[in-house]
Structure 1
Amino acid sequence: MYLICGEALFDLFGADTSGTSVGFDGRIGGSPFNVAMGLARLGEDAAFFGGISKDVLGEKLVGKLRDEGVSDRFVVRSDYLTTLSLVQQDPDGQPAYTFYGANAADRMLTEADLPVFGTSPSFIHIGSYTALTEPVASALKTLIAREHARCLISFDPNIRPTVVADMDKWRRNTSAIVPYTDVIKVSDEDLALIAPGEPVEAIARDWLAEGSKLVIVTRGKDGASAYTAHSEASVPGIAVDVVDTVGAGDTFQAALLSGLKTLGADNRAGLTALDPAQLTRLLTFCTQAAAITCSRRGADLPTRADLEKEGCSLV
């Protein structure tokens, strides 16, 4: 089982309007929520751990988990409200987010809410603002410290300056989490925010030296690179008619976690043993999956059938 931890919210896409009215197209979102949904669409056993409101939007979020086949048995319901994310796009389709979520349900989990497992998950994935904002961030750090010896830990920093503007906090938080992680997926944009001017490969090598087994850096339309202690690989981007890029990174993350299992790298020895050819196949698979999402409105992640239709497979 993959346990995906973090935020669940609604993205509000602003529509073109005139006068004093503002129209929005509301879509279910949240980076970890998307990853859980993406794994389920790829046929994986995924569960979501996060705080979800009892309000109308929260009911829709829980309903979506169930519809997608994501287990909600670790979801914590509360009377706090659902986070809203206002999404604006630049001419290249890159999203910029403004969050309305202080004291919202996804941020208010505590250590008392942490799940207890009969059998530990194969992967625990954390990231984005719930890995930084309190009290949920402390709860998630306790969880990965507790479970690190029994399962693999995946981390996507997914920096959100409109949630917390202080890059020193993001930098310190990332540094605190890295020693507990086995797989790190990070965008070059996020690295530019928390480590401006530092070479990407140098950052990856530092994280590997601190204990991570696989570091992947995504570069949007320019592709992605992967680093282990003994191997590395890069692939170019895939040309696509971009509708928007919302959910592209989450798609890459879901494809990555699923792909590692397919390659037999769902344990630390397997991660360490990945060779350049396997890393290239993995990056290509993830990049193709993300390209499909970029061709759609919102975080509409591909199914296994969508990938097979495009000739995208690891087997």
Structure 2
Amino acid sequence: MPHTQVAVLGECVADAFATGNAPQGELALRVLPGGSPANTAVALARLGTPTRFLGRISTDAFGALFRAHLGASGVDLTGCVTADEPSTLAVATLDESGQAGYTFYAEGSADWQWSTAELTAERLGDVSCLHTGSMALVGAPGAEHIEELLARTAVHATVSIDPNVRAAFVDLAVYRERMPLWCALADIVKLSDDDLGQIHPGESLEEVCDAWHAAGARLIVVTRGPRGATVSLDGERATVPAPATEVVDTVGAGDSFTAAFLHRLHSSGLLGGRLDVLGLDGATEAAAFATRAAALTCSVAGANPPWARDLDG
């Protein structure tokens, strides 16, 4: 397996879930470390890919939780900024299918305060791939500086983006406006069918993929829950099924998919450039592996991605 690191840039979020066992008149919350980019970094490291996380981690109690969680999974935290601002909090509610909805407490929090002075080549390090997305890519004032880093990184490394749409955090118009630029910067765009439907309601997957290919993204991967995932490589498409699983909740499943997909490409020596030698068969095989990782994440509570040993065989 290649030893070059994969870097993940973005937010850590304290995911709070009601425990249901509080005395009358009180609400008890169980807080778990989350945030799509942090989840992705944890999942990558657990699968055995050397992973560097670039985040602005608060000095508060939640920040200590994030550092312990990332570190215990083997994530390199030397690219992180120790921030005085508070951590982002998300209070989650689960529907009958285990799908989470979030209320965000994010105003002025550490995750969105990136500056050009912080996002340096030295902080990024020698990486074959930079993955980012989610709220950090739309959270002002840092989002603009992240886009600048992506443009610089694309010269020498693979760029992967997951918009991970959060309409409760930012207006959907922002995603529609920025997607053409993100596709121009990225080699890989991964998103869910729900994300796609929110950004381009009423348009087919094929129409949207073709438009994003034209904007510059070579590889687009759309996760579709129990229907598996669709891979679109330069307009050539294939779909892989999802393994049958008993869903506890879907928290972090998409992030586990992203991590497992990138892990498979990394271990095959395909990251580090424009994916020039990647064919549809290779992309489809990586997606099939990634659906297994996502299914395992759905079978446990919270964003608790599998380790490499869980996917052996």
TM range (shorter): over 0.9
Q: Report the Cα distance in structure 1 between the residues aligned to 2:59 and 2:174, rounded to whole angstroms.
A: 31
Q: Report the Cα distance in structure 2 between the residues aligned to 1:210 and 1:267, rounded to whole angstroms.
A: 21
1:253 maps to 258
Are 2:149 and 1:143 aligned? yes
2:78 maps to 73
Q: Report the Cα distance in structure 1 between the residues aligned to 2:24 and 2:238, rounded to whole angstroms.
A: 51
Q: Report the Cα distance in structure 1 between the residues aligned to 2:233 and 2:276, rounded to whole angstroms.
A: 7
2:10 maps to 6
Q: Do the aligned residues in 2 keep the contact of 1:32 with 1:127 (CA within 8 Å)?
A: yes
- Could you tell me which amino acid in structure 2 is paired with residue 300 of structure 1? N
Kindly provide the CA deviation profile for residues 155-188 of structure 1, in whole angstroms up to 9, marking residues without a partner as x.
Answer: 0010001111x21112112222210000110111
Q: Do the aligned residues in 2 keep the contact of 1:208 with 1:229 (CA within 8 Å)?
A: yes
Are 2:268 and 1:263 aligned? yes
Are 2:51 and 1:49 aligned? no
1:294 maps to 298
Higher relative contact order (CA 8 A, sep 6+): 2
Are 2:226 and 1:221 aligned? yes
Kindly provide the CA deviation profile for residues 13-67 of structure 1, in whole angstroms up to 9, marking residues without a partner as x.
Answer: 1122563210111100100001111111011110111111011211221222222
Q: Report the Cα distance in structure 1 between the residues aligned to 2:267 and 2:182, rounded to whole angstroms.
A: 26
Kindly provide the CA deviation profile for residues 226-256 of structure 1, in whole angstroms up to 9, marking residues without a partner as x.
Answer: 0112632111222111000000000000001
Are 2:123 and 1:106 aligned? no
1:190 maps to 195
- Could you tell me which amino acid in structure 1 is paired with residue 295 of structure 2? A
The DSSP-based 3-state class of the residue aligned with 1:122 is: strand
Deviation at 1:283, TM superposition (A): 1.5
2:210 maps to 205
- Could you tell me which amino acid in structure 1 is paired with residue 163 of structure 2? P
- Could you tell me which amino acid in structure 2 is paired with residue 297 of structure 1? A
The DSSP-based 3-state class of the residue aligned with 1:125 is: strand
Q: Do the aligned residues in 2 keep the contact of 1:228 with 1:272 (CA within 8 Å)?
A: no
Compared CA separation, residues 205 and 54, structure 1 to 2 (3 A): same
Are 2:55 and 1:59 aligned? no
Deviation at 1:216, TM superposition (A): 0.4
Q: Do the aligned residues in 1 keep the contact of 2:191 with 2:222 (CA within 8 Å)?
A: yes
- Could you tell me which amino acid in structure 2 is paired with residue 301 of structure 1? P
Q: Do the aligned residues in 2 keep the contact of 1:129 with 1:163 (CA within 8 Å)?
A: yes
- Could you tell me which amino acid in structure 2 is paired with residue 69 of structure 1? G
Are 2:184 and 1:179 aligned? yes
What is the TM-score with the length of structure 1 in the denominator? Answer: 0.93
64-73 or 133-142, which moves further after superposition? 64-73
